[in-house]
Each structure stands twice: as structure tokens, then as C-alpha cells.
Structure 1
């Protein structure tokens, strides 16, 4: 029987090892595929950047040529003289008219400046419009399809293809490009055609009167843009193609020495990179180039032309490092996998031999660990200053640490099975029983702050009530921790009293500095706090509003007293000084670390929702909510309080003023809350008595 189980164990181990090996080789294959895709993605990005750069340069080159001709076509003199020449026929053909001379000089100057003449020609060359000459770069003014008015040296009668394009431009009135073709000098050229319109409109239909035809030798101007600028690669190449029927025609010179327009291949040839580029411009992939080499390529469409730019590199060069890296990964990871499998076998045999010894050692170690942790727990619980105890569901003590027992003056061994009342007293027991029942009922942690009386002393604790399930039954026990924060609580109260005293001192200083606004801060704080309570603000937000209201006039301390108490009209300088009050307040409060946005609320008390306020012109959500409450309370108190330059407003009039500006300057909800406070929460008889007291 033992040999049977041993054989079954061996079979299971062999199957598991085989699965591990299969999974390992599958993971290696996936990782190598990932590395290959990463390298391809890198080349996709590299070729894409190269193609985009060259496509942009070609687009820019085409746009510059058309821009030159369009600027010339819009020349008023050229339009006028061309129109006059079209209307009249010279009576002495052998004598050149002044108009033709001017047009020729204008065209020659433009052509020489922008490369529409063959290099090396003298600028003073002169030809007649009827002389047939051969030039690779030329600029001519043509009418009626083939009637050359004038042009640069070497212009010849338009070819049939060029004549057809000229007639199309004359018919449609739009610029056009005559695709690359071989001229009489066996040079690849491209023609740019731009219509010339009459200076004065002759009829409702605006038709061209002539065409500016500029030809350029692309081997001099265009093909250099395709040259590789990367010395790090040897086989990258960029060329232009176009579709001719079912063929792909290569427009630019190729790396194998093929001249422009001398190679054409079937567009549907299998895996032909140029064929894919014609069908899907922008596509990245691998395929065959014109010489049958495996390449990585991408393509771009050249705007305004039938050209497709192809950027490629031999796959052998591009992926040489990647393939070497993949072979290294395959070999090294396979060796690691086999080594790991060997180690697994060794560990399996070794583990089986030592299994019984390990189990015994584990049991011994767990016993010792349990004993040490029990001792550690006892040491921690007996020496920690927090009060820790455990209650059962009947709220009787199961455990209490020594700190609690000493505080209650009860021996630790006598705490077990006591109830809360016998340990803490009736008053504290009622507080604890209520929280214990709630925690047991909800089955969740609760951490309230509670005040208890212990041995005649009132203490404040951060308490934690933690229900703990007992594994041996479905009953729960309650772990309770009491952390004494009495000193911290007293310090916080002292700090709060000090804060309020400092704020009150600042308010008195403000009232003394501006007696006409005496008690303004206190009144603003009264209404701002009432509005906040009416709107159910959180305690922290309510404290922020109250503090900001008490300090809202702090900026007045930076304004001279004679300006604040002046009864006459303020000068422009004094008005500007008064408008800086929020900025003065922000400077005074900016370095104080308040619990809430007090400084921001004070600085924004004159900001309006429609952006018409000051000092920063904030609007809508840029104005924080405490500042909206402060703005309404401040405005209301200011209106119902007398000033050095006016009497106070009636309460109803002040509310009407705020209501008119609700939604534009003031928050509509805040104004509504103020209405509620004024109508339901303000004793106006006491208010008037208090105001009169301050006035007197």
C-alpha cells in the first residue's frame, strides 16, 4: 500500500513538473513575442517621425511654390497689363510693347528670386514670346491654353498634357499641380498653375484671363528633401510613388540606381510595400521593396498631390539587434527554466525526506511562539498607560489590564466577572453600557470621545469599542480601549479661549480706529453665524465663517483714521486706498495658520458672483462659500448701520437692496437665509438698544 501511494505521488510530481515546463516555455515564447512587438513599435515610431518630417518638408515646399505664384498673380500691375494685352492686338508685332516688357521684367525678377530659372543664366537674357526654347526651370504667363504672353529664358510651347491643365485652370479658376513628368531635356519636372484674374470685373462670372505656369526640376528642388539624414543606419530610404492604372510608379531616384519615373510595378503584387502604401497611406508594416528585400515601412499622403511618401529600412538591419536579443533570451531563459526544474526535483526529494522532521519542528516552534507572544501580550497590556478591558455580551469583565485596575483601585485578579457599575460607578457605567450595546448591535468599530468620572475625577477619553467574534462560539466579546486625552482636551479649550480673546482684542482695536464702524465686526459675525447655522453648515465651516466675520475689518488698521472718519466726499486717492482694505487684511492674515480659509474669506468679502467685485475680480465658483456668507452679512450690517457720511438704512430697505442684487452680486441661497434670520431669529428691540449704546 505504501509503495502504491509512493508511486502515485511520483506520478503526480512528474505531471506537475511537465506542466511547469510547458507553462515556462509558453511564458518564454510570450515574452519573446512581447520583445519583438516592442522593437517593432520602436521602429514604427522612428520611421513615423522620419516620414512625418520629410512629408512636412515636401508639403511646405509645395505651399511655398504656390504662394510665390499666387502673390505674383495678385499683383495689380500684372493683372492690369495682362488685361490690356488681351483686349488689344499690337499693330507692330515686331516692336515689343511697354506692357510686355514690364511683365517680362516682373516675371524674370520673381523667377530669379524663387528658383524658377535654370542656374547660371544671365539675368539680362531676353526672349520673345514666340521663341521655342528648352528650360528645366521656368515661369511663364500663358493665355488661351498655349499662347505664351511672356516668360523666362527657355520656355517652350506647352505640351498637350500641360495645355490641358492650363485649360482646366482657365475654366475652373483654381490653382492646380501638373504631376511629375519628363520634359524634352529628359529631366523630371513639375508644373505649378495659378490663375490670373482681371483687375476689374468684366462680368458677373469671374473668369481667369491668363495662367501663371511655373515649372521646376524636381531633381534639384524636391528630391534632395528625400535624402537620409541618419548616419546611424545604412539601408533607410525615402521615395515618392503614385498610382498609374494598375501600376505603382516610382517618382524619385531609388537606392539601386533606378532613375525617376523609370520603374513601375504591379500595385497588387504580394507583400509589395509600395502597393500597401497606395491602398492605406499611413500604414506601418513589413513587406517587400522594389528590389524584393524584406523591409519595415510606413507611408504618408502628400497633401494637394497624388504622391505617397514611403519611408523604409531593411528588416535585416532594423531587427538585427532585436533578433540577437531574442535568441539570447530564448537560450538564457530556457536554461534558467531547466535549472529551476532541476532544483524543483531536488527540493521535492529533499522535502519528502525531511517532512516529518519539519512538522515536529513547526509544532515546537509554534508552541514556543505562542508562549512568547502570551508573555509579550501580558507585558504590553500590564505596562501600557491606556485602559484596556474585555467584556462579554452581559457586559461583565473578562479581562482588565493593570493600568485600569490600579486607576480603579481594584486588584487585577478581582476585576473578572465584575459589572460596569461596580467598577466605574453608576453614572460612568450608563455611558459605557449605551456605547457597548450600540457597538455589539452594529457589529462594527466605533471610536467616540467620552467623559467619565473615575475616583471622583472627570477624565476625557478617546475610546475604541471593537466587537470580536469568538471562534469557539457564535457569541461576541467587546474589546474596549480608553486613551486619556484630558490634558489635550484642556489645552484645546485653553487655545480656543485664547483665540477668541485675540480676535476680540483685534475687534476692539478696529472699533477704536474707526469709531463710526464700532461694533461692525461683532454685528457682521452675529448675522454671518446665524446664516451659517440656518444653512446647516458643518461646525468647522461655521467656525471659519465666524472668525472671518470677526476679522473682516482688520484691513482698516492700515488706512489712516482721518480717511475712515471723513464726513465729506472722498478723493480718488482716498477711494483707491479704501478699496485696498481686503488686500491689507490679506497681508495681515496671510501668515496665520487658520484651521479653515479665514484669510481667503476676508480677502473676498467684496467679490461678486458676476465678477464686478474687488480686489481680484473673482466670479461664480471662484468665490468661496464662506466669503459669500460674509459678503451678504457685511453688506447688510453696513446698510443698517450709520456711517460718517450717511444715516443707516431701514432693515426692509436693506433687504430689498440685497434681494435686487441676489443672483448677480450675492448668492441667492445666502440672501434667502438672511431673510429667515431677520424674520425669525433677530430681536430688533434688543438690537436697537445695543446699537444706541455703542453710538452713545
Structure 2
């Protein structure tokens, strides 16, 4: 007996030791997993900082390139000016009398261009006293290759040989001599070429513009809404190794234009779009990325943020996560120990007694759940990862035409045609991977088509029957039919309303349909989705809705309209937008109509919106409406023709119209059969004029 008790105590001790060892092993694994999870979250947070730097760098690089390209384009435009070319030719061909006569005109031309294109510093000049020499910081000039100026605007700094790339093959952007306040001077040059100029002249005469990289330029480096305290964006010119030359002011100070060691900026120059943690010019650890500029300059944009700021947030989150998870793990371990200590010796027998009762309850619960699911208006099934049906209600039997008893433990894809089965298998694979899916399935049943909204949801059910996904199928045939009928009636109503409105003006009888067609075609050329295409098409059909407020006498008048009559016709567009403002369209139809008179440069009506602030549909519709109006004949004039209309639209591109939209229309006309398709627009039928 004593030996038996000793054996029991030994077995008990071994059991306790084994249980304790198991708990410690679980704890060790748990804490290791917690640390790994927290570390992975820290890496994800670092990736988020990379994404933030990329967004700012892309945005600022675009703005800097726009600024540079805008100024070089201005200089190239002057170099291509016929007056400038004639003056340069006469200046070098020996006809000094003629050149001197033209000099005043060319000076006025350059001065106007400098004022318009920003090659001046009006504020700084206005602040200089009359008896003090004005600073020479910005201007435009026509210069020989040796640096001799032929004509220069007030304020144009003098350039000595070697201070500008006179040997460049074409247009250039380059750094000029530094100003007295050490501000970098940027030069924009374009060779003067053209018909009638000698070879020597074509090589030696330039239009050169000079501008300091001052506040106007530095605004392009400022990111709107930037929340970081230590974020910094600056431009550099890479040298050898880790040496760079800063071109813009640095947050920590330092002379602009002086070479210095900056490992972070040098990395950004060597690996644009790369991401690293390195020391910068102030010997501070930073996260850095860089961008090359889409302008003809060897400059690199650098975006950094202090590593302490970025890592502080990451470390704080990681530590907080580790502490929270560790406390939770300790609580679970303590609970396990308490449960094990309290229940291991007393609950085993109770568990056996309760097992039978639990099995009975489970069976009753299963019958209850089957009854509940059978009374749902949708087909429901629990599927294994191989499409085997683990559970199904009677409605799924109605959908497949098979009894529920036959569906259980059967692959569901064998109950449907191959096309439906393929879609179900693809959706199941996503559900097994944790992704919920929803799709419409069209199933032929009793000679009629039924449409089911089918969802496959991730499901983790374990036990005798393991289920990986929950299938829910709802019959929406009546809803789809009603929706299609409603959309058909709506389209018919819009078409009828368009015909009624256009009938009031025989000369623009088909104007609305034509505008809708052109706008829809241009938007599709620009890659819009179906909903956006439908919105701009409907807006095009309703473009003349406001004409119900315009007297028929004005619409059919065969002489040019007065200013008051033109204003009445223009205002009718806004009234049309007001009429449809309360209707429930899928897209922004009312906004498109209301913003048709807005101009890309902000000079339009009614709110003076500009650029991307204008509804995209309004930008397309304004071009389409203008195009159709120009090529179509009216009571007081004939149609202008495609070429003339394109010339006018291109002339107003960038001011009145968006360039991209005009380019898309021109591409359709020139390369996509637009001329043949819309040729009838230029023809006036007798029935239209009556």
C-alpha cells in the first residue's frame, strides 16, 4: 500500500512537472511571437513613413519642374518670335541701321515678356530709391555667344564669358553667377534659329532669361498641410562621392552654393526614389528619398525627416503594443494556471457526465439552426475548402434543384453549369484566403433567368465538419428588372426633353445630341469609367435645357446677336443647371452644367474656379459644346470647319480650356476617325434650317 502511494505521489509529481514545463514553454513561445509581431508592426510603420516621404517628394518635384519648364518655354517662345529672329539676323549681317531702328521695339517686347513671365523683381525695384542704382537680379536679353548683349531689359545681370553655357547645342537651364546676397541665379537660354538666318548667327545669338531662386521659386518646395516638425525639402547638385552643392536654403543653415558633405543627399542623387536612413549635412540621422526633375537640369530634389521624429512614433507604438500584448499573455497564463490547479483534479469526472448532455444540446441546437436557416429568404450553405457542402438550407436546394440531403457532403460546383462553377470556385479560393467576395450570378431555371447576389464570406468552423466559407445567395431578379426599367424610362425622358428643347431652334436642332456624343467620345478617349461617361453624356443632352428661358426670336435670329442677347443665351446655361439641381442623377450632372462657363485659368463664371477645382465633366463638356457650336451652322453664320475650330480651341488651351481635353479631341479627329464620324455636323440640312 505504501509502495502504491509512493508511486502515486511520483506520478503526480511527474504530472505537475510536465504541466509546469508545458506552461513555461507556451509562455516562452507566446512572448517570442509577441516580440515578432511588434517588430513587424514597427517595420510596417517605417514603410508608412517611406510612403509619406514619397508623396511629398513626388508632389514637390512636379511643382519645381513645372516652374522651370514654364520659364524655359517662355524663353523658347521668344527665340521663335519672328521679330526677334529678324533683329538678330540684321544685327549680325551688318545692317546696323535697320537693327538700331528695331532695337526699341525689341526692348519693349522683351520688357513686356519679362513682366508677364516673371523675369523681373518688381517689388524689390519699387523699394529702391530713385537716386540709387537698381539691383540687377532678373531680366531678359538677346546675347551673343561671347556674352555681349544686343538688347537687355532693366535689371538683367551682366554675363561674362564662361558664366553661361554659350556652347550648348540647344535650349538650356543652368546656374549663373551668384548674386551679392549669395542667392543662386538660374539662367534659361534658347538659341535663335529660323528661316533666313546665317549659320554663324544660328550658333552665336541667344535669348537668355535670368531669375534668382528666391521666394517665388522656394514656394514650390513647401508642401501644403505638412505636419512633420523636422521635414525638409531642398535642391542639390551632386558632386563626387558624398559631396553635394546645395541650391536652396537649408533648415540648419549653411551657405548656398558651397560644396559640403551630405551623405543623405548624395544617396538621393545616386538612387532617386530610393529610401534610406543616413546622416545629412548637419550630421543628423534622417530618413531620406530623392527625385530627379522632369526638366533639363542635373539637379536632385531631396526630402528628409529627422529619424528621431519618425522612429519615436514607431518605437512608442511598438513598446505600447508589446506591453499590452504581454500583459494580456500574462493574464491568460495566470488564468490557465489557476484553472489547471483548480479544475484538473475535480472536473474530469464532471466533464464525462456533461458530455452526454452537451451532445444532446448540440443536436437540439443543430435542429434549431437548421429550422431558422430554412425560414430565411436566402440560400445558405457552409462550404469546405474543397467546395464540399457541410451545411445547407432548403432554399439552396430550390436553387440547385436537389434535395438538401443530397447536397450535404457533395461538392457544390457539381450542381451548377461549368461557367457558374468556375466563378464559385474562384470566389471560394478568395474566401479561404480571408477575402469576402460578392458577385451577381445569372442562373437559368425552368426556362427563365434568375439573378442571384452571391456572397462568399470567410468562415472558420471546426469540429466534426470543418467549414471554410459561408455561401449566401439572394434572388434579386425583380430588383434588377425594376432598376433596368427605371433607367430605360429615365433615358427616354431625357431624350424626349432634349428633342423638345432643340426643336425651339431649328438651326441647332441636333446640338444637344451632338454635344453629348462629342463629350462622351472625348471622355472615353481620356480613359473615364462607365459611370463618369454616362454622367457627361446626360449633361451633354441637357446642355440646352436653359434655352426654355430664351425667346424663340433670339434663337432663330439671322443677324449677329447683341451683347444683351448673348448674355441671355449664356445665362441660360446656369439656369439649366439650377433646374436639374434637385434631381437624383448617378453622377454630378448638375455640377457639370453649373461649371461649364468656368475657365481653366479662373477667369470664368459663375464662381471663378480654376484648374482641377473645376468638375472634370464640365471641362470636357465646355470643349465639346464650343466645338459643336463652331463647326455647326447657325442662323447668323456658317460653320467654321474642323481645322479652324481646332485652331481656336488650341489657342484657348491653358486659359479657357484644359489642354489635355483639347488634345484628346484633336487625337480623336486626327487619328480615331472623328472627322468622318462628325462630318455631318458641318452640313446644314434643309429640314434643319426650316
Q: With structure 1 as the length reference, what TM-score do the two structures score?
A: 0.46
* Bigger Rg, which one: 1
